[in-house]
Amino acid sequence: MKQQMLLKLLKALLKNSKRSDRELAKAIKASQPTVTRNRKLLAPYIRSYTIVPEFHKIGYEIFSFTFAKAQSFDRRTVEEKFPIVKEWFMKQHNVVFMSDGEGLGKDLVFVSVHKNYSKYADFMRKCTLNVADVMVDLQSFVISLKTGAIVKPFDLTYLADDVEEFVK
C-alpha cells in the first residue's frame, strides 16, 4: 500500500513538480500530511526539482548528441585521467548529460545545448583540446531547435505514465 502511494506521488510530481502538497494530495486522493510525509520518503529517488524550458525561446539554437570512443588504457591510467575529464565536463554548464555506454562503435556520449552553431563549434574545439588524450573519434548529431521539425519535444512528463515499480 505504501509503495502504491509513493508511486502515485512520483507520477504526480513527474507531471508537475511545482504543485503544492495540498494540490498533489487532491490529485492523488490523499491527505496533505500524507503527501508531505511521502515526499520525504521519495527524496532518495529525486535528483532535483527543475523546469524544462523552451530552449529556443531562451536563446539556444543547437541541441547536440556527441558520441566518442575512449582511448584504450590500462586501469591505472584510466584512474588517473577520469577525474580530469570529469572535472572538465562538470565545468561545462551547457553539457546536460555525459556517460559511458555502447553503440555505433562508440562508448561515450554527452548531450549539450548551444546558443548557435558558432558557439557549438567553439565548444567542440575546446572539448577536443581538453579531452583528446582520453576521447577520440568524436561525432555529433546536431539538432536545430530554431528550424528543426521537432516531433516530440524533450520533456520528462512523458515518463509519468511509464513509471512502474521503483521502491524495493
- The pLDDT profile of the chain, 168 residues, written as one tens digit per residue, is 588 889 999 999 999 999 999 999 999 999 999 999 999 999 998 999 888 999 999 999 999 999 999 887 666 776 787 888 899 999 999 999 999 889 999 989 999 999 999 999 999 999 999 988 888 899 999 999 999 898 999 998 888 888 876 655
Position 122 scores a pLDDT of 98
Residue 130 is placed in which grid cell?
A: 581538453
pLDDT of residue 32: 95
Nearest CA to 155 among 53, 56, 57?
A: 53
What confidence score (pLDDT) does residue 58 get?
94
For residue 109 the three cell numbers come to 556520449
Write the CB contacts of 50 (distance below 8 Å, at least 6 apart in sequence): 17
Q: What was the pLDDT predicted at 118?
A: 97
Res 72: pLDDT = 76
CA distance 117 to 53: 20
Task: Please give the model's pTM, rounded to 2 decimal places.
Answer: 0.84
| Cell numbers linked to 140 | 555529433
Give start-end residues of each CATH 1.10.10 domain in the chain.
Answer: 2-51
Q: Which CATH class is domain 55-144?
A: alpha beta
Res 166: pLDDT = 61
Q: What is the CATH number of domain 2-51?
A: 1.10.10
